[in-house]
Structure 1
Amino acid sequence: MNVLTVDYTADDAPQRFVESLHNTGFGVLTNHPIAKEKVQSIYDNWYEFFMTEAKHDFLFDPKTQDGYFPPSVSETAKDHSVKDIKEYFHCYPWGKMPQHLKDEVMEYYQLANALAQELLGWIEEHAPSDVKVRFNQSLPSMVEGSEGTLLRVLHYPPITGEEEPGAVRAAAHGDINLLTVLPAANEPGLQVVANDGSWFDVPCDFGNLIINIGDMLQEASGGYYPSTIHRVINPTGGRTEHSRISLPLFLHPNPEVKLSERYTAGSYLDERLRELGVK
């Protein structure tokens, strides 16, 4: 499976990047505008937060979905029965979060959101005409001013051997949203499935930016842009003792955006959250 690694500054970057998204659902960018030092600082500071009991002061709100989600309520991937081995925090500009972490993470939120909207422009520009006509409005405008775009800070704890049988850090799943922007994590483990059912490691050199299609864009494009199934496998050997921090930005359209004849963005999200058991 050929997930392309594309230099963001190259003249042919938009075409090659969109080609990778169409063929695999994933693309990887280098030399992009998000400094790896900024990402590393967020990883370090949020890891320290996850190590404290203060996280429980920010327990998530089931209605608004902001705040801290402990392992006991972690997601169960669609068609799976065992919860993932993770805890996480949902960051929205309007949501609750630790004050000492807010400025840094919201600066990143705005930077990654702006880049994602640019990439949506690439995706629309290089789509075939019969796919473009399916979009009820331009892709960047779908997320303009959206209060639903979510920055999730994930902590996958070390593996102790006492986990529930069959549990993995993130079971095979597709993302719900339009587009996901993911800096390479501090530990490997992200894999994507090929058409023949085999699994491949996604290039994860620190500093890379991994982009993948979500279910909403698959729906809106009539399947031209595939929401490819991916997972985070458990580490082995000495790496079982390491935590893994991840920072996906899930780009969500405004709820009234019409994805297809079947769904608005709001109705699609509501259906999926109920399937995941978090609503």
Structure 2
Amino acid sequence: MSEKIPVIDFAPFREGDTVARSALAAEIYRACHEIGFMYLKHPGIDSDLIARTMMHSRAFFNLPLTEKNKLAWSDEPSNRGYVGVGRERLDESKPGDLKEAYNIGFESGSTQLKNQPSLSCNRWLEGDDRFRDTMLDFFSACNETAKVICEALAIAINLPEAFFVNNHNQQDNTLRLLHYPPIKQTPESGQLRAGEHSDYGSFTLLFQDAVGGLEVRNTRGEWIEAPFIPETVLVNTGDLMERWTNHVFCSTKHRVRIPQDQRAKQSRYAIAFFCHPNHDTEISCLKTCHSKERPSLYPPITAGDYLLSRLKATY
């Protein structure tokens, strides 16, 4: 397991009976416990929707910087909008990351006004309803898949099936479009496309292109490749899931390095869906994850407070 990220067919969990679901949950347990990453085949998201979302993402990042900056990210509590190249620093000890991003959150519908910057409003391109509609459709599809993954994670650690679903039902999630531009000049010392980091929430769904560069640190401290595998989504557990489960599930460090070949001159695109618990959920050690021999490692903290602290450190 430390040499290779497992590929798991998720269809038997989504479509199977209790026995099939329990068997799949056991596979997911091993992946989340031993490495914190897994590829899921048949995740339940339409491939045409994934392709359409990627197409709109490329078109967005090809816009002039002046247009993208009209939607600029402004603060940690909202965490929405456009983030320019070098603005984010995932490894606090290194220079800013060689990437740009665009963050989208849950949108409640007609109660929101387009382009109104607030805690509950996304920042949309004016006059481009196709972009907006595609992103909201993709957000919804990822959220539905996340619900089923929540069920699998709960079964894996002997909790009621609805436990994680109920603690993620406010959709405090973030959809992030990512673009890593071609490298046109020598990076600063230690600078990467995305610095070494772990994700902050419960788990992440990652959709990437074939350019490559994503690496995961295994239990021996070695960096192993996490390449693009067609018709899969890459899933990794994050910091809050690690805290919740008392390190039964791990939050593994990863990074996006700069390729040492012609791919460095190519754009790399990815889409991440960060699944977070409800803002006011208390993250404290789960009853099935501690014992006298395995005491709780962390004090309780609300999911919102933890996320805010990590975003402040990142920006």
TM-score w.r.t. the length of structure 2 is 0.81
Deviation, 1:21, is 1.3
Match of 1:46 among 37, 57, 60: 57
Identify the residue that residue 290 of structure 2 maps to in structure 1: none
| Secondary structure in structure 2 of the residue aligned to 1:82 | coil
Query: Quick check: 1:77–1:173 contact (8 Å CA) kept in 2?
Result: yes
Structure 2: gaps (5+ residues): 13-19, 108-120, 285-298
Query: Quick check: 2:213–2:227 contact (8 Å CA) kept in 1?
Result: no
1:81 pairs with 2:81:
no
Query: Quick check: 1:91–1:97 contact (8 Å CA) kept in 2?
Result: no
Query: Quick check: 1:24–1:228 contact (8 Å CA) kept in 2?
Result: yes
| Secondary structure in structure 2 of the residue aligned to 1:247 | strand
AA of the residue aligned to 2:310: R
Q: Cα deviation per residue 1:208-229 (whole Å; 9 max; x = unaligned)?
A: 1000001001011111100011
Matches within 5 A, 1:51-130: 51-53=62-64, 54-62=67-75, 63-73=77-87, 75-92=88-105, 93=107, 94-98=121-125, 99-100=128-129, 101-127=131-157, 129=158
- What is the alpha-carbon distance in structure 1 between the residues aligned to residue 153 and residue 54 of structure 2? 29
1:30 pairs with 2:41:
yes
- What is the alpha-carbon distance in structure 1 between the residues aligned to residue 210 and residue 124 of structure 2? 22
Deviation, 1:164, is 2.2
Match of 1:140 among 165, 179, 183: 165
Deviation, 1:72, is 4.0
Identify the residue that residue 10 of structure 2 maps to in structure 1: 8
| Secondary structure in structure 2 of the residue aligned to 1:210 | strand
Identify the residue that residue 118 of structure 2 maps to in structure 1: none
Identify the residue that residue 214 of structure 2 maps to in structure 1: 190
Identify the residue that residue 110 of structure 2 maps to in structure 1: none
AA of the residue aligned to 2:153: I
| Secondary structure in structure 2 of the residue aligned to 1:20 | helix
Identify the residue that residue 209 of structure 1 maps to in structure 2: 233
AA of the residue aligned to 2:303: A
Identify the residue that residue 185 of structure 2 maps to in structure 1: 161
- What is the alpha-carbon distance in structure 1 between the residues aligned to residue 218 and residue 247 of structure 2? 16
Identify the residue that residue 292 of structure 2 maps to in structure 1: none
Deviation, 1:186, is 3.9
Identity of aligned residues (%): 24
- What is the alpha-carbon distance in structure 2 between the residues aligned to residue 240 and residue 81 of structure 1? 19
Kindly report structure 1 stretches of 4+ aligned residues shifted beyond 4 Å: none
| Secondary structure in structure 1 of the residue aligned to 2:98 | coil
| Comparing 15-24 and 211-220, the one that deviates more | 15-24
AA of the residue aligned to 2:152: W
Deviation, 1:206, is 2.8
TM-score w.r.t. the length of structure 1 is 0.90
AA of the residue aligned to 1:25: G
Identify the residue that residue 267 of structure 1 maps to in structure 2: 305
Identify the residue that residue 270 of structure 2 maps to in structure 1: 246
Larger radius of gyration, structure 1 or 2? 2
The aligned length equals 270
| Secondary structure in structure 2 of the residue aligned to 1:216 | helix
Match of 2:204 among 180, 198, 203: 180
AA of the residue aligned to 1:42: T
Query: Quick check: 1:158–1:242 contact (8 Å CA) kept in 2?
Result: yes
Q: Cα deviation per residue 1:9-67 (whole Å; 9 max; x = unaligned)?
A: 23443321232111110111112222333222222222122111221211112141211
Distance 1:235 1:37, change over 3 A: farther
Q: Cα deviation per residue 1:166-187 (whole Å; 9 max; x = unaligned)?
A: 2111111000011101123342
What do you get for the CA RMSD once the two structures are aligned? 1.9
Q: Cα deviation per residue 1:233-255 (whole Å; 9 max; x = unaligned)?
A: 11222212211111100011111
- What is the alpha-carbon distance in structure 2 between the residues aligned to residue 33 and residue 22 of structure 1? 23
| Secondary structure in structure 1 of the residue aligned to 2:97 | coil
- What is the alpha-carbon distance in structure 2 between the residues aligned to residue 270 and residue 207 of structure 1? 33
Match of 2:246 among 219, 222, 234: 222
